[in-house]
Chains A and B, each alone.
Chain A
């Protein structure tokens, strides 16, 4: 027999191999790898958190400085002022629109009344209330009232001119009241 069986040697080799591939060591190594991975991830995340913390503190400092700065305070105040000015301007413009439309009674209509008045007519009273002018007149000629009203109507300055008639009083004098309505917005 050329080959000899050495059972002890075989046992030693198997023992060495089994020691080299100890399943417990594999498990421990696996656990360690996981722990290392978690540790590495944790370290990275901790670093990231620290960086963000630092950056946020710096940003807060920057914002505090900016907020306390004169320029920022001026801009904020100015913006509020602008809003208030624009609000007031809008309201004033609305009010002024009314005043632009609103007309004031002037001398033009009065001058016209005297200009168109027949010489036979005497004006005793002119009264304006709102947009209505009432003229108390007297004349020796009854026909002059109608011609006065026609002239006033033709002048185009009044929306309406009318008279309710006339009556005689004090001998030969006739009295009448002429009503005129002004054109426009009052």
Chain B
């Protein structure tokens, strides 16, 4: 076999070097490194998730307590609202307080349930405005009263209007009204008419929510 010349040997060395570096580094080490980087990122994410989940599971008693308290707050807020006004149930109550105050119910009409956002409109005095008013107020040391803002909500609840016509002693009617106002948490008398010959007529708006839980 012929002995390699120095030039050939150097050429083969460089070819070998290219082969080793090319295959070893570029085709093996670098993809391996990239793979490891991906695995490291995945590992870090998994560790973080595991820590979070572990912490979450460890917080079970605290979460359970928070849930209990939050549920209690819902119940407390719901208790401030009237219950579902079913005519057949409400009528028993109405007949009861009418009988208690010796009143005769002439007409009771239950309107349909409808959705509505309650408002509390501030009542303001209708005043005639005139251009000397400001100076007169200044002279009389009258401070312009700013009317209270109307309290509104965008949330809707259910509302049912009930018309009640009755006959009986006037003072008994007042007791009847007081009982209604006391018993109905979110019931409001919007209209009242008393005529000495006919009797008393009331329009009652009751805002309520259906608080019964569905039986699943």
A1 is an interface residue with CB less than 8 A from chain B: no
Residues of B within 8 A of A66 (CB): 50, 53-54, 57
Residues of B within 8 A of A114 (CB): 170
Q: Which of A85, A104, A181 contacts B74 (CB 8 A)?
A: A85
Report the Cα distance A81→B13, complex, angstroms.
72
Within 8 A of B (CB), among A34-83: 34-35, 38-39, 41-42, 45-46, 48-49, 52-53, 55-56, 59-60, 62-63, 66-67, 69, 71-72, 74-76, 78-79, 81-82
Question: In terms of DSSP, what is the predominant structure of the interface of chain A?
Answer: helix
Query: Which chain A residues numbered 117 to 165 have a C-beta less than 8 Å away from chain B?
Result: 123-131, 159-160
Chain A interface size, as a band, is: 35 or more
A75–B78 touching, CB < 8 Å: no
16 A-B pairs whose Cβ atoms sit less than 8 Å apart in the complex: A27-B10, A34-B20, A52-B40, A56-B43, A63-B49, A71-B60, A72-B56, A82-B67, A88-B77, A99-B120, A103-B120, A105-B188, A106-B181, A107-B174, A123-B196, A185-B120
Q: What is B's interface to A at a CB cutoff of 8 Å?
A: 4, 6, 9-10, 13, 16-17, 20-21, 24-25, 28-29, 32-33, 35-36, 39-40, 42-43, 46-47, 49-50, 53-54, 56-57, 59-60, 63-64, 66-67, 70-71, 73-74, 77-78, 80-81, 118-126, 148, 150-153, 155, 157, 170, 173-175, 177-178, 181, 185-196, 207
